Amino acid sequence: MTSKTASLILSGLLLSGASAFSISPAMAAAPVQAPVVTGLPDFSDLIDKVGPAVVNIRTTERVQRNQGVPGEEEMQEFLRRFFGGQIPRGRRGGPQAPGGTEEQQVTRGVGSGFIISSEGFVLTNAHVVEGADEVTVTLTDRREFKAKVLGADRRSDVALLKLTATNLPYLRTGDSSKIRVGEWVVAIGSPFNLDNTVTAGIISAKSRDTGEYLPLIQSDVAVNPGNSGGPLINMRGEVIGINSQIATLSGAYNGISFAVPIDEVMRVADQLKTSGKVTRGRLGVQISEVTRDVAESLGLGKARGAEVSMVEAGGPAEKGGIKVGDIILKFNGQAIDTTRDLPRVVGASKVGSRANVTVWRRGTQLDVPVTIVELQDDKTAATRPVPKKPAPAGVANALGLVVGDITPAQRGELGVDAGVLVENADGAAATAGIRVGDVISQVGNTPVTSAAQFNGLVAKLDPKKPVALLVRRENVSQYVVVKPRA
């Protein structure tokens, strides 16, 4: 083969390959056009403007200390050295307390905060001032003020302080609902007691869930102990959040930090200013996530809403007519996409107000009116005993279940109106987590009334499709997805 022939063959292959993978103009998709990054921002003018409104917060606590204990000073010194200076050294000469003890002021910690009005209102984290007997606020010009704690809310980790001063520098609040992932932000605070330390980064994620009432802003801004309570600031000089948490294995910055959105903060601060506490609404239900398999089995289409796994006896949900097994889809017209959405919208509701709750129940969408009550401290729910029955010699159905009818006495004991009692679980049911003593009250969207009816429903199931069973264990119900065996 001549070199000319080889060249022609190679050219033919290349042309053929180009033709085989060519895309017509009608089929071609336009490439994503990204803005050109021409340089990094300069934060110096921004910091000059907002820095004076960021404050250092020191807290102290009055403690009782026994006098004259041999070796006490040596032990305290040992602890201070061992724990790296974290054990505070008390001051002698405090007022004498009864019983041979003296009262002294000890430093509890250092945090950050920021002024939100010229009249001296300051925002910080609740955990910064928790347990403090005295709070000292220091401005960048070295002026110091004794601050009064107007109120602190542990659920949102927000506290509001008041300084006796006027004409103070203050920060403007932004709109945290309009933040964008990737935009530049700045944090100012006192990490490790280093006042007015500035760090910068970008917003990494919005609405990051780490708690019921905290859809946090995630950023890669360096935040360390002492930054707590300081502001997260956008490029317009507006506060969009309070730096509150870090994800860390060492106790120091590890690349991920979280801030409470300023919209949430200001709602809390308004209540703290008015009444010194935060009042939240309560529905009186326990909820769980709706999986894709459960949604498909119940006819919801896609996974959405919050599954009601328990209804508090005598609570607003029970009085309104919400039932175990309902899927809450909307609250006052606002869509509930995940279980995390419901506590927030209910918590933001006014106590005593009437709310319209849209639920999915046995294949039908219903509106249930509920009167919202005040959320109290968490209480541990009492569990009901499960009746013990010996495993029978019955034949398991296609789900691997042997069930029996529930007697009237057992209904009262279990707190159920209907359903069947699981006497043996094997195969697919056992794999799904169903066990002896569970109560099954629903197959898909059909309520269960007897063992015979339950077995009849199971016999008609499509073995190629999973089915959701509403299963009650102790005082909690949940949909469990099981695939019938052929």
Count of alpha carbons within 13 Å of 3, Cβ hemisphere only? 0
Summarize the chain as % helix, strand, coil (round to 5).
20, 35, 45
Which position among 127, 263, 288, 450 bears the catalytic label? 127
Which position among 156, 176, 228, 257 bears the catalytic label? 228
228 labelled ligand-binding = yes
The answer to whether 228 is a known catalytic residue is: yes
**H or E element: which one contains 270?**
helix 262-275
- DSSP H stretches of helix in 105-155: 126-129
- Provide φ and ψ at 330, rounded to 5°: -145, 150
419 labelled ligand-binding = no
CB atoms < 10 A from the CB of 326, how many? 25
- Residue 104 · residue 62 · CB < 8 Å: yes
- Provide φ and ψ at 213, rounded to 5°: -115, 20
157 labelled ligand-binding = yes
Residue 232 bridge partners (DSSP): 187, 241
- Residue 243 · residue 259 · CB < 8 Å: yes
Closest CA relative to residue 138, chosen from 158, 161, 154, 172: 161
The answer to whether 349 is a known catalytic residue is: no
Which position among 153, 156, 157, 477 bears the catalytic label? 157
The answer to whether 157 is a known catalytic residue is: yes
456 labelled ligand-binding = no
Helix (H, G, I), strand (E, B), or coil: what is residue 258? strand
Residue showing tokens 């200013």: 273
**H or E element: which one contains 275?**
helix 262-275
Which residues line the annotated binding site?
Answer: 127, 157, 226-228
Which residues line the annotated binding site for substrate?
Answer: 127, 157, 226-228
The catalytic residue positions are 127, 157, 228
